[in-house]
Amino acid sequence: MTLEQYANGAIRFDWTNDEVASILSSPFLPLVHTAAQVHAKHHDPSKVQVCSLLSIKTGGCSEDCSYCSQSVHNETDLEVEPLLAKEQVVEAARRAKAGGATRFCMGAAWREVRDNRAFERVLEMVKEVSDMDLEVCCTLGMVTEEQARKLKDAGLYAYNHNIDTSEEFYDSICTTRTFQDRIETLKNIRQAGVTICCGGILGLGESESDRAGMLHQLATLNPHPESVPINTLVPIEGTPLEENAPVSSWDFIRAIATARILMPTSMVRLAAGRMSLNKEAQALAFLAGANSIFAGEKLLTTANPTLDEDAQFFEQLGIHPQVAYEGTQTEPCKKQANA
């Protein structure tokens, strides 16, 4: 079996674990080359989606995710901040849009959404931001189908909920929920007709086979997640993973290329960890099929390249920011309603 057989960019949901492991471990340049071919079949390689991220409720989370600055189980020096006012969020979205972002993602350090005033406020935020013609995404922890429907009715385009790692390794990184809980939420989001943003993290101490397992899980979801963020661990002082060995750029690019081959039409996002990747490695990641980034100097609680730095970088590479909804598989509910 050679990589060539995958270059046609066929969309499949029946990938085997062995196939995924073999793609992930194939020689570097043929892997990047195949991924680039798949990428060009389904996307314009000169376009990259620019997403902006805002933490709307920071810290104090009851989950024990071992990588996270926001868990009450970790002794980090993060300042806890209650849910922002709607006006603060709308203002941040306005700035993100002016800076060239077409997707705006709001993150809350919640275990799950509860049916309370805070959720009502988030629904109002979603409504206002979607009226600004930005793709709105939320990441608020676990949701029921009914809550996902309310978000959809408010104009939500995407919901981010990562599986983070393989099913086998999951309970080594989080014990306060199960891998199956994540899958349940993903089903609820899908049922409500909201697009799915789901990916994972490299550098948690997982094995090569866990990385393949995670990518296999994502690629056998039917339909594939419309958006797949690949994060590398941003080590946070005070977390159990603070001393983890950094992920090599080679491994990161391999994961990107494999995600691109397995999920040809999805947006593959270079998510957390860009601060520790040099520009050459990021350029290779774009070549290997990444077509989305988080832009702006902050992710949720950690640093990210600035808008100016990325604008210069885009120019250097000859790539351009994509306009909202372009290249995504599903037309947003709002656009359909207006059609």
Query: Binding of ligand SAM at residue 147 (CB under 6 A)?
Result: no
105 is known as an active-site residue: yes
In the complex, the smallest distance separating the C-beta of residue 285 from ligand SAM, rounded to whole angstroms, is 16
In the complex, the smallest distance separating the C-beta of residue 77 from ligand SF4, rounded to whole angstroms, is 15
Burial class of 98 by CB neighbour count within 10 A (0 to 12, 13 to 18, 19+): exposed
Number of helices (H), then strands (E), in the chain: 12, 10
- Among 136, 138, 154, 272, contact with ligand DTB (rule: CB under 6 A): 272
Burial class of 317 by CB neighbour count within 10 A (0 to 12, 13 to 18, 19+): middle
Asked if omega into 225 is within 30° of 0 (cis), the reply is no
- Among 51, 61, 156, 287, contact with ligand SF4 (rule: CB under 6 A): 61
Q: Looking at 90-98, 243-251, 275-283, 297-305, which segment touches ligand DTB (CB under 6 A)?
A: 297-305
Do the Cβ atoms of 215 and 258 come closer than 8 Å? yes
138 is known as an active-site residue: no
Report the b/e string of 77-95 with b at 16+ CB within 10 A.
ebeeeebbebeebbebbee
Among residue numbers 91 through 150, which ones bind ligand SF4 (CB under 6 A)?
109, 111, 141
Query: Binding of ligand SAM at residue 157 (CB under 6 A)?
Result: no
- Neighbouring C-beta atoms of residue 196, cutoff 10 Å: 23
114 is known as an active-site residue: no
Q: Looking at 151-159, 254-262, 294-302, 328-336, which segment touches ligand DTB (CB under 6 A)?
A: 294-302
Do the Cβ atoms of 324 and 103 come closer than 8 Å? yes
Q: Looking at 172-180, 247-255, 281-289, 299-307, which segment touches ligand DTB (CB under 6 A)?
A: 299-307
Question: Which residues are designated catalytic?
Answer: 61, 65, 68, 105, 137, 197, 269
Which residues form the interface with ligand DTB (CB under 6 A)? Answer: 53, 69, 105, 107, 139, 160, 162, 199, 229, 231, 234, 271-272, 299-302
